[in-house]
């Protein structure tokens, strides 16, 4: 039982004994005592003054005396106006340390066997371009949320939906046919997703030239956009693909295979993975089938041009296109099919979609359409919306070729890590292979921590230079704190400190460190409930910072009292274990030496 529960139970008990009044346990507000006051936990007694019919200070004093007399875990109290500050006994903190240092899974909860899973979708790339900075935030968020949910005791399935069909894919294919001269990743030495992305940009250039020509001939911009020969060719290619015209279908398979091979390299660099990959080329047919059933039963309606729509006005929204007049599907169609397929595959307790906030409306519509179509499980859908990532020089546009490529960004930050760690003399005792791995660890920690420490809902500015600072709120700072602890462990390996006992008197720095260690299980649960890796990043930084202050003020190897030295060594080990596990929840490795 945690301290908050103990305090709430005893608060109810004390109030009943002193004032013969029953109060609701759920109404008791407990928070950790602010640093400028003495104490560990603070209870606000103002809401109970009317029941006690006494002044707040008097009420708090009587309750404080009850706690000290009747609760073993509390050894002191003080009252600041109507706030009761309770001090936890050293014996309790020492007991936490004893248990936690022996628990290799401290802070984590084991998943319930055979519990329905939570399915979380992230990445969802298009096969017409390489992954970019926006995809990095998506992948890092999705992977980290999945790891945090698993640590909180949930059965989690990580899935990816590859957008491998549609007009945008045909644009790359058509441009390759026109300009590619049969080049391949092998013939050019270019990564497959980069090669295909190059032709997506080329299509946009061709399209703009044709639009400008038509406007010069007297067409309106709207007419030019619709009548440009290259867009008409792309639309015909999409119809040919849906009809499985052999030449088009073969080209589609070939170019997608190039892209998948490139994606795999990038995913490995990022350190993310999936339990299952879905493809829109499979799920859109199921979606079309569901939509046609909805039309046949009168839930959906058809316009004069043959397109099929959902009327959402009764839900405060507008009309939503589900099938075009030529029978081709839209994103919503395949999302309907994919959702149904996941329900059949997993019967999950929840379906989470990690997708940018520009798609908020899309997911509102998806839930409503599924509900209208009679799927009770539509309520399981939850959109984890996140803000876009920008760079100091502005926004990115794929079709204009101004995207910051994920591979280039990762390689660049690893190169920055190499420069900084080399200059700091952190590789002097490492082999070349060990040094290269350290550069990767530090660079990826810089990237991942900088992105994940920001609340997912917020738009963010990614600054590579800030991310790799060894002294700020960064991944490398937390890594360095862990490496410092491992250095202590190596030096202590041959020392004989023996076992420490629970009668120690601990100082304020030791207690502060133990208080943060105590918070870890609650932080993991809160981060899971809020789908927020930022909470874990904040905790990891606070723990590293608190450990460094503890280390600065307390001897370990030079401590003459072996009992104290053994205790400090154990809580150092514990802090290191938690730094490692919390950073792993963010997908970050911590080096033993740097």
pLDDT in tens, 534-554: 999 999 999 999 999 999 999
- The pLDDT of 242-247, averaged and rounded, is 94
> Is residue 400 very low, low, confident or very high in pLDDT (cuts 50, 70, 90)?
very low
**Token duo for residue 87:** 């001090």
- The pLDDT of 428-434, averaged and rounded, is 86
Note the pLDDT of residue 357: 94
Whether residue 124 contacts residue 163, with contact meaning beta carbons closer than 8 Å, is answered with: yes
CATH of domain 3-88: 3.30.1360.70
Encode pLDDT of 194-228 as tens digits.
Answer: 999 999 999 999 999 999 999 999 999 999 999 99
Q: Which helix (H) or strand (E) holds 162?
A: strand 156-162
DSSP-derived letter for residue 380 is G
- The pLDDT of 411-421, averaged and rounded, is 91
- The pLDDT of 91-116, averaged and rounded, is 92
* Number of other residues whose CB lies within 10 A of the CB of residue 318: 12
With left for phi above 0 and alpha for psi between -120 and 50, is residue 185 left, alpha or beta?
Answer: alpha
425 pLDDT higher than 80: no
- The pLDDT of 286-294, averaged and rounded, is 94
Please tell me which of 35-39, 113-117, 469-473, 544-548 the model is most confident about, judged by mean pLDDT. 544-548
* CA–CA distance, 145 with 138 (Å, rounded to integer): 11
Q: What are phi and psi of 42, to 5 degrees?
A: -120, 135
> Is residue 401 very low, low, confident or very high in pLDDT (cuts 50, 70, 90)?
very low
* CA–CA distance, 76 with 84 (Å, rounded to integer): 11
Nearest to 97 by CA among 417, 574, 430: 574
- The pLDDT of 379-391, averaged and rounded, is 91
Note the pLDDT of residue 64: 97
> Is residue 500 very low, low, confident or very high in pLDDT (cuts 50, 70, 90)?
confident
Note the pLDDT of residue 1: 65
- The pLDDT of 490-505, averaged and rounded, is 82
Q: Which fold has domain 407-585?
A: Isoleucyl-tRNA Synthetase; Domain 1 (1.10.730)
CATH of domain 122-400: 3.40.50.620
* CA–CA distance, 184 with 285 (Å, rounded to integer): 30
Sign of CA dihedral 124, 276, 192, 236: negative
> Is residue 439 very low, low, confident or very high in pLDDT (cuts 50, 70, 90)?
very high
Note the pLDDT of residue 526: 97
Count of positions (residues) in the chain = 594
Whether residue 536 contacts residue 148, with contact meaning beta carbons closer than 8 Å, is answered with: yes
Note the pLDDT of residue 397: 44
Taking only Cα atoms into account, the Rg of the chain, rounded to an integer number of angstroms, comes to 30
Whether residue 82 contacts residue 45, with contact meaning beta carbons closer than 8 Å, is answered with: yes
Whether residue 272 contacts residue 136, with contact meaning beta carbons closer than 8 Å, is answered with: no
CA distances from 170 to 43, 129, 243, 264 (A): 63, 12, 14, 22
Where is average pLDDT lowest: 52-61, 321-330, 343-352?
321-330
- Per domain, the residue ranges of the chain are 3-88, 122-400, 407-585
With left for phi above 0 and alpha for psi between -120 and 50, is residue 576 left, alpha or beta?
Answer: alpha
Nearest to 518 by CA among 162, 168, 6: 6
Encode pLDDT of 451-460 as tens digits.
Answer: 999 999 999 8
> Is residue 155 very low, low, confident or very high in pLDDT (cuts 50, 70, 90)?
very high
Note the pLDDT of residue 364: 94
Give the long-range contacts of residues 325-329, CB within 8 A, separation 24 or more.
326/239, 327/242, 328/238, 328/239, 328/242, 329/284, 329/287, 329/288, 329/291
Whether residue 388 contacts residue 357, with contact meaning beta carbons closer than 8 Å, is answered with: yes
Where is average pLDDT lowest: 171-185, 295-309, 483-497?
483-497
152 pLDDT higher than 60: yes
CA distances from 551 to 187, 514, 564 (A): 57, 13, 13
241 pLDDT higher than 80: yes
Strands of the sheet with 41-44, listed across from one edge: 30-32, 41-44, 83-88, 74-80
Mean model confidence pLDDT for the chain: 93
Q: Which helix (H) or strand (E) holds 356?
A: strand 350-356
Note the pLDDT of residue 395: 46
Question: Which residue matches tokens 């199921």?
Answer: 286
Write the secondary structure of 46-103 as one string of H (helix), E (strand) and C (coil): HHHHHHHCCCHHHHHHHHHHHHHHHCCCEEEEEEECCEEEEEECHHHHHHHHHHHHCC
């Amino acid at each position: 039982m945690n301290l908050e529960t103990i305090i709430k139970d005893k608060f109810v008990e004390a109030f009943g004994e002193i004032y013969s009044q029953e109060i609701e346990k759920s109404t008791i507000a407990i928070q950790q005592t602010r640093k400028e006051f003495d104490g560990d936990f603070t209870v606000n007694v103002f809401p109970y003054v009317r029941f006690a019919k006494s002044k707040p200070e008097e009420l708090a004093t009587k309750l404080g005396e009850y706690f000290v007399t009747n609760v073993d875990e509390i050894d002191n109290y003080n009252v600041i106006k109507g706030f009761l500050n309770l001090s936890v006994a050293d014996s309790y903190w020492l007991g936490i340390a004893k248990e936690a240092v022996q628990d290799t899974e401290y802070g984590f909860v084991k998943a319930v066997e055979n519990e329905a899973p939570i399915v979380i979708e992230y990445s969802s790339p298009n096969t017409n371009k390489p992954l970019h900075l926006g995809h990095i935030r998506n992948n890092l968020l999705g992977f980290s949320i999945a790891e945090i949910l698993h640590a909180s005791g949930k059965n989690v399935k990580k899935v990816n939906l590859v957008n491998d069909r549609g007009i945008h894919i045909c644009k790359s294919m058509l441009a390759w046919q026109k300009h590619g001269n049969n080049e391949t990743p092998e013939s050019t030495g270019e990564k497959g997703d980069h090669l295909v992305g190059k032709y997506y940009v080329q299509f946009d250039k061709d399209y703009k030239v044709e639009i400008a020509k038509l406007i010069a001939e007297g067409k309106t911009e709207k007419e030019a956009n619709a009548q440009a020969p290259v867009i008409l060719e792309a639309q015909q290619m999409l119809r040919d693909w849906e009809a499985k015209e052999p030449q088009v279908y073969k080209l589609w398979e070939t170019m997608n295979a190039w892209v998948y091979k490139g994606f795999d390299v990038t995913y490995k660099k990022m350190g993310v993975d999936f339990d299952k990959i879905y493809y829109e080329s499979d799920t859109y047919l199921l979606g079309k089938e569901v939509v046609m059933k909805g039309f046949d039963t009168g839930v959906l309606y058809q316009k004069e041009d043959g397109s099929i729509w959902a009327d959402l006005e009764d839900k405060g929204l507008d009309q939503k296109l589900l099938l075009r007049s030529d029978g081709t599907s839209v994103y919503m169609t395949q999302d309907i099919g994919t959702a149904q397929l996941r329900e059949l595959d997993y019967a999950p307790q929840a379906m989470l979609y990690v997708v940018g906030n520009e798609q908020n409306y899309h997911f509102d519509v998806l839930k409503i359409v599924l509900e209208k179509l009679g799927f009770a499980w539509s309520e399981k859908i939850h959109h984890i919306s996140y803000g876009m990532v920008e760079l100091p020089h502005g926004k990115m546009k794929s079709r204009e070729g101004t995207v910051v490529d994920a591979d280039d960004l990762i390689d660049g930050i690893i190169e920055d890590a190499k420069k900084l760690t080399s200059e700091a003399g952190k590789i002097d005792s490492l082999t070349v292979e060990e040094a290269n791995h350290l550069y990767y660890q530090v660079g990826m920690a810089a990237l991942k921590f900088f992105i994940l420490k920001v609340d997912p809902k917020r738009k963010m500015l990614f600054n590579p230079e800030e991310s790799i600072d060894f002294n700020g709120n960064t991944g490398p700072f937390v890594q360095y704190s862990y490496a410092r602890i491992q250095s202590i462990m190596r030096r202590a390996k041959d020392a004989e400190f023996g076992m420490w006992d629970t009668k120690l008197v601990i100082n304020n720095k030791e207690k502060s460190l133990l208080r943060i260690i105590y918070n870890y299980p609650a932080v993991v649960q809160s981060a899971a409930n809020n789908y927020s890796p930022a909470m874990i990043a904040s905790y990891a930084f606070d723990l590293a910072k608190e450990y460094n202050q503890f280390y600065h003020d307390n001897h370990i190897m030079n401590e003459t009292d072996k009992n104290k030295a053994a205790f400090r060594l154990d809580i150092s080990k514990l802090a290191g274990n938690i730094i490692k596990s919390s950073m792993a929840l963010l997908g970050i490795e911590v080096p033993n030496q740097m």
